[in-house]
Amino acid sequence: MKNNSIYLRIILFLFIVILTIVSSCKKLEETPKSFVTPQNFYTTPAQVEAAFAAAMNNLWDYWGGYGYGQGTFVNDDQLDGGDLVISRNHGSDLWNRHYAAIANLNAAIGAMKKGSLGAGTSQDVYDLLMAQAKFLRAYNYFMLVRMFGDLPLLTEDITDPITAKIGRSPIADVYNLIVSDFTEAAGKLPAEWPTAQQGRPTSGAAKGLLAKAYLTMATAPLNDISNYQKAANLAKEVIQEGKYSLVPDITKVFALETKYGPEMMWSFNSNYADINTDPEIYKPGLLGGWGDFRVQREWEQQYPKEARKDAYILTEIDGKNYTEWPDEQNPFIKKFMYDKQEDFDNYSSIMNMPILRFADVLLIYAEAANMANGSPTQEAVDAINKVIDRANGYIDNPLHPKLTTGMTKEAFDIAVIEERNQELCFEYDRWFDLIRKRILKEKSIPSIQQNFSEDDYLFPIPDNDIQLNPMLTQNPGY
C-alpha cells in the first residue's frame, strides 16, 4: 500500500505538470492570417488610402448610375414621377451607406491619431492623409444633415458605436463638425495633385464645399445669415486662385476629356476597371437604352431655349420632339450620355458623376455675396453672368438675359436659384435648393401639391434604427 501511494503521488505530479503544459501551449487569442483587423490596419499611407477608396466605393455604388440614386430625389421638380409622398424608410439606403463610409473614415482617423502610421511617417504625409479623411467625412455628414436633420454624430472618439448610447445631435452641432473638418482639409490639401492623382480632393474642392455648407447654414432650417459672408469669402478665394475655370464649350462640360478639370472640382471617379454604370440607363428606348430616368415635361417646358438646353436635355431625336415619340413621351437626361458607341455596346459608362463644379462655386458666390451685401454686387453679377453667357453660347438671348446690379436682392436671389436649377440639373443639387429655400411646394407641379407638408423637408430616420435605439427620435410626420 505504501508503494501504491508513491506511485499515486508520482502520477498526480505528472498530471499536474501536464495541466500546466496544456494551459500554456496554444493561446486562445486569435491572430487571423488571411485578413487584418482594424486594430492592425492603417499602418501605411497606402492602407489609409485604401480606406478612402472603400469609403468612396460605398457611396459611389449608390450615387453612381447603378444605385439609381435619382429615385430618392424623384420628388424634386426636375424628374418625372414624383408625388410628394415620402414613405417611411425613404432614403434609408443612403443613411446606411453614408454611415458605413463614416465608420471606415472614423477608424482611419482614430488609428492615425493613435500613431498607427508609426514614427517613420513624416508630418506632411500624416497631415495630407488626415486632411483627406476629414474632407471625406465632412462630405458625408454634409449629405446626411441635409437629408435627415439632427444626426447621430459619430466621430473617431466613439470607438464602439454598437454599445455606445447615442442620440441625435442638433443640426448646428453637425455643421460644427463639417466646418471644422472642411476647414482642416482646406488648409492642408494641395491646390492640385499630380496627374496620376487628379481625382483626389483639393483645397479648392474643400473650400468650395465649405462655401456650400455655409450657404446652406445661412438658409433653412438654420437660417443663420451670418454665414452668407463666410460663403462668399470662400467662394471668392476659389475664384481668385484661378485653378478652376468654366469649360468654354457648353457641349464639352460633360465629356471624357473634362472629367478632371478645369471645371470639375471633385466627382465620383470612373474608369474601365470600375465603370460607373451601364450607359443604357440614361438613354431612351429609341436610342437603344432602357430609359430609366425621365425628365418632367413641365420642367423642360419652362427651361429657356438656349445652347445649354440642347447640351443638357434630350428633347429631340432625328428632328422629332419627344411628344412625337412612340411611347416614352418625356425628355431625357443628356448630360450623362458622354459615352462612346463602344462603351454603350459594352455596357460601360466611364463618365464621372459630378459632386462639385466651378459653375456651382460661381453661383454660390453670386447668391452669398448678394445676400450678404443686401443687393447684387458687381462681382456677384459677373460671376453668374459667366454661367449665363456660356449657357447662351456667348450670344445675347432675350429668353435668358444676363443679370444686372440694378436688380433687387430678392429678384437677384430668385434668378440665382433658377440658374442653379438649370445649370446643375440632375446633379443631385435641386432637391437641396428646394428645401433650403423652402420652395418645394410652389415648384411642384399643381397635381401633386396637395400632398405637400412641411414634414417633407426632412427624410424619415430609418425604421430599423428607430426600433433598435429608443434614444433616436423620428422626424415629424413619419
Q: From the list 188, 259, 294, 309, which residue makes contact with other proteins (rule: CB under 8 A)? A: 259
Among the listed ranges 9-17, 303-311, 392-400, 404-412, the one in contact with other proteins (CB under 8 A) is 9-17
Please report whether residue 35 would count as binding other proteins according to CB under 8 A: yes
Cβ count near 79 (within 10 Å): 22
> Of residues 65, 149, 354, 462, which one binds other proteins by CB under 8 A?
462
Q: What is the DSSP secondary structure assignment for residue 186, as one 8-state letter?
A: H
- CB 336 to other proteins: min, Å: 17
What phi and psi, each to the nearest 5 degrees, are found at residue 151? -135, 150
* Dihedral angle computed from the Cα positions of residues 178, 184, 186 and 190, in that order, rounded to the nearest 10 degrees: -140
Region from 24-32, 211-219, 248-256, 443-451 binding other proteins, contact rule CB under 8 A: 24-32
Nearest to 383 by CA among 189, 281, 257, 231: 231
Taking the complex as a whole, the smallest distance from the CB of residue 186 to other proteins amounts, in Å, to 19
Q: In the 8-state DSSP scheme, what is residue 332? A: E
Give me the 129-168 binding string for other proteins, x by CB under 8 A, dash otherwise.
----------------------xx-x------xx---x--
Q: Are 94 and 62 a contacting pair, CB within 8 Å?
A: yes
Q: Residue from 72, 75, 78, 104 that binds other proteins (CB under 8 A)?
A: 104
Comparing CB distances to other proteins, the nearer of 99 and 142 is 99
- Stretch of 56-64, 169-177, 326-334, 446-454 contacting other proteins, by CB under 8 A: 56-64
Nearer to other proteins, 301 or 467 (CB): 467
The reply on whether position 469 binds other proteins by CB under 8 A is yes
- Does position 397 interact with other proteins (CB under 8 A)? The reply is no
Residues 218 and 368: their CA atoms lie apart, in Å, by 9
The span from the CA of 177 to the CA of 193, in Å, is 26
Quickly list H helices, 114-188. Answer: 123-148, 171-188
How far is it, in rounded angstroms, from Cα 220 to Cα 173?
15
Pairing relationship of beta strands 353-357 and 316-317 according to DSSP bridges: unpaired
- Residue 44: CB minimum distance to other proteins, A: 11
Q: Own/partner pairs for 317-325, CB < 8 Å, 24+ apart?
A: 317/284, 317/286, 317/287, 325/284, 325/286
Nearest CB to other proteins, comparing residues 60 and 73 = 60
The least CB distance from residue 457 to other proteins, in Å, is 21
The three-point CA angle 67-72-74 to 5° equals 120
Residue from 62, 66, 103, 428 that binds other proteins (CB under 8 A)? Answer: 103
Interaction pattern, residues 351-390, with other proteins; x per rule: CB under 8 A:
----------------------------------------
Is 438 within 8 Å of 221 (Cβ atoms)?
Answer: no
Interface with other proteins (CB under 8 A), residue from 62, 260, 325, 478: 260
